[in-house]
Structure 1
């Protein structure tokens, strides 16, 4: 019995906490290296897509603040197109997934490993959003115009005169200048009258 115990406790089977800690730290470092490499690979592929779309991004009108066009710093890395759509890589780190969040949930617009296909899809999406925005702006203008016409029609039916149109800016400027000259002439006349009175009083007062 003692021989077995001594054999199990021999030098070849000695366990120490330091060696266990060393093994665990080595394994964690290896896993971290793999995670970092995968994260860098994801970002590199998204940067390739961003380079393909650089010309598209540059053509978006400056007054259109709908789009984001940036790679987020989170995990997983995402190429944001606007506030509700982005491109992310699939689990194989090769497939591009163009996703959009809607009121009905997240929708996959396209899923492909082909860089050109996803770039074309994003380009079409940007074009569609720009057209939608232009139509919305035009629709708002049409609605406002229709409301003004409806208000004017109702006022006309009730016999309410339409408000007089404001004079042009050039006419208002001319009127202000004319009023300014009249005021200046009036003040100048007062000054001349005061000067004449003072001169007359100076002559009449005996030395």
Structure 2
């Protein structure tokens, strides 16, 4: 009987220790989740402050310009998207703004600072450069202001086409047309004279 009592006590003690461990693990997991949520919310709040400072630049960009996004996204790491490749996010210290761009060779850091105003200036410069690049690309394709030798092949071919010229009309054709109009005039005149004679009752010779 004593042996059975000791075994039951041992199982009960072990169960209590396991339950305590599970409870402690749940508490630790909840705390870690709270920390992650707090960090994400803090990052989002800092990016919202950045977006407010960038708003005058956003307002200056035409509303129909599809080159930029200007969107704050959520997820495990909030990001403020400038366009399809450039974005602003918080560094690991959660206090430094990092302006990065994704390229075919990997991600590059364009600017990094603990002051949002500095990153706003860098993003403004980036937006201006992208707009100038687009204007240059459009100017290079239209060929306006370039000499014929410097124009794109498609424009040069179009400009080299001579206007269509009609073959000169033969003089015999002009004579036939004039004779036709003369005959028409004679017929119309004779018709008018006959109509007047019939109206007056005079005999038609």
Give the TM bin, normalised by the shorter chain: 0.5 to 0.7
Written as runs of structure 1 = structure 2, the 5 A alignment for 1:4-153 is 15-142=16-143, 147=153, 150-152=156-158
The answer to whether the Cα contact below 8 Å between 2:143 and 2:155 also exists between their aligned partners in 1 is no
Take 2:57 and 2:40, find their aligned partners in 1: how far apart are those partners? Answer: 26
Q: Which deviates more from structure 2 when the two are superposed, residues 145-154 or residues 32-41?
A: 145-154
Residues 100 and 163 from structure 1, CA distance in 2 versus in 1: closer, same or farther, beyond 3 angstroms?
farther
Take 2:81 and 2:31, find their aligned partners in 1: how far apart are those partners? Answer: 31
Unaligned runs of 5+ in 1: 157-161, 165-207
Which structure is larger by alpha-carbon Rg, 1 or 2? Answer: 2
Q: Give the equivalent residue in structure 1 for 2:187.
A: none
Take 2:56 and 2:136, find their aligned partners in 1: how far apart are those partners? Answer: 24
Residues 98 and 27 from structure 1, CA distance in 2 versus in 1: closer, same or farther, beyond 3 angstroms?
same
Query: Tell me, what secondary structure is at the counterpart of 1:82?
Result: coil
Query: Tell me, what secondary structure is at the counterpart of 2:75?
Result: coil
Q: TM-score, normalised by structure 1?
A: 0.65
Take 2:158 and 2:68, find their aligned partners in 1: how far apart are those partners? Answer: 39
Take 2:37 and 2:128, find their aligned partners in 1: how far apart are those partners? Answer: 35
Take 1:130 and 1:152, find their aligned partners in 2: how far apart are those partners? Answer: 29
Structure 1 residue 150 displacement after superposition:
2.5
Q: Give the equivalent residue in structure 1 for 2:179.
A: none
Root-mean-square deviation (CA, aligned residues, Å) is 2.9
